[in-house]
């Protein structure tokens, strides 16, 4: 089976850019979307449902902002739309879907570029997320954590590391959290499979960045260590247009 993750930067916009046709062609077993920027009733999802997908939707309280959605052909056991701490749940950033063999986190992690308050919120969100991951993993459950993490981990993960080391998205304190995630026993699937490969998942709309491949790898799949052996393949689909991010996937 294949699980895909894609920050679509507005599902209403991407619906007019061949999104449904791409889904029908790629046929993901599970598709996790971030930054949907819409309420579910603003979108005609009948073509997705007709393909056999169960749809889970979490919109932000603020209209046109953030939001995540999970489309699944697998029958879910339960679904949650947030963490235990309420202050992290009003921006529509989290869908936690439990399946028989694993629990899937679809998360649009906060961006810290708007100032110190948002950076602190991002770091607190990170720690709350890790606490949740650990609680399930320690209970013997497998976890898959996908989405837009809004942080490049290592210098190989962005085109211009030196010029960005003082900006949110590549700050030492943000990168240290990914170190912490790994130290807690979670595996960055792509980087573990391809230790030295330079490939990106996001490009700025400015300065023809995508055409020049001036990008960042900020979209990830992490899994608990015991589950990693189940991963057959993974990739970032750089040729798929429609958003400033590209889709990423793992095959189990």
84 is in an annotated binding site: no
HSE-CB of 154 using CA atoms within 13 angstroms: 13
pLDDT for the residue numbered 47 = 94
Angle between helices 116-138 and 172-183 (to 10 degrees): 0
- 95: alpha, beta or left? (left if phi > 0; alpha if psi -120 to 50): beta
Write the CATH number of the domain with boundaries 2-251: 3.60.10.10
User: Does 245 appear as a known binding residue?
Assistant: yes
Which residue, among 111, 47, 98, 102, has the nearest Cα to 70 in the 3D structure?
Answer: 98
Report yes or no on whether pTM surpasses 0.85. yes
Total H helices, total E strands in the chain:
7, 14
Domain locations in the chain as residue ranges: 2-251
Q: Is 61 flagged in the annotation as binding?
A: no
Distance of alpha carbon 130 from alpha carbon 127, whole angstroms = 5
pLDDT at residue 6 in the model: 98
7 assigned binding-site residue: yes
Alpha helices by DSSP H, listed for 17-143, are 19-26, 46-49, 116-138
**Which pLDDT value is given to residue 206?**
94
Could you give the residue numbers annotated as active site? 108, 148, 245
pLDDT per residue of the chain (252 residues) written in tens, 0 to 9: 999 999 999 999 999 999 999 999 999 999 999 999 999 999 999 999 999 999 999 999 999 999 999 999 999 999 999 999 999 999 999 999 999 999 999 999 999 988 999 999 999 999 999 999 999 999 999 999 999 999 999 999 999 999 999 999 999 999 999 999 999 999 999 999 999 999 999 999 999 999 999 999 999 999 999 999 999 999 999 999 999 999 999 999
């Amino acid at each position: 089976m294949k699980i895909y993750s894609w920050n679509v930067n507005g599902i209403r916009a991407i619906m007019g850019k061949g999104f449904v046709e791409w889904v029908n062609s790629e046929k993901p077993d599970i598709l996790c979307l971030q930054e949907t920027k819409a309420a579910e009733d603003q979108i005609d999802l009948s073509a997705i449902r007709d393909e056999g997908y169960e749809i889970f939707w979490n919109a932000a309280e603020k209209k046109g902002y953030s939001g995540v959605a999970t489309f699944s052909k697998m029958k879910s056991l339960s679904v949650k739309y947030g963490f235990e701490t309420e202050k992290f749940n009003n921006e529509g950033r989290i869908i936690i879907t439990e399946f028989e063999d694993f629990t899937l986190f679809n998360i649009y992690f906060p961006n810290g570029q708007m100032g110190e308050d948002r950076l602190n919120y991002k770091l607190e969100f990170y720690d709350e997320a890790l606490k949740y991951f650990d609680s399930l993993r320690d209970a013997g459950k497998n976890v898959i954590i996908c989405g837009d993490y809004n942080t490049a981990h290592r210098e190989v993960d962005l085109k211009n590391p030196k010029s960005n080391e003082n900006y949110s998205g590549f700050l030492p304190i943000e990168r240290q959290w990914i170190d912490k995630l790994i130290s807690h026993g979670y595996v960055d699937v792509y980087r573990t499979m391809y230790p030295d490969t330079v490939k990106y998942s996001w490009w700025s709309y400015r300065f023809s960045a995508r055409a020049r491949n001036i990008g960042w790898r900020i979209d990830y799949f992490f899994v608990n260590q015991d589950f990693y052996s189940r991963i057959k393949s993974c990739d970032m689909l750089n040729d798929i247009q429609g958003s400033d991010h590209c889709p990423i996937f793992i095959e189990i």
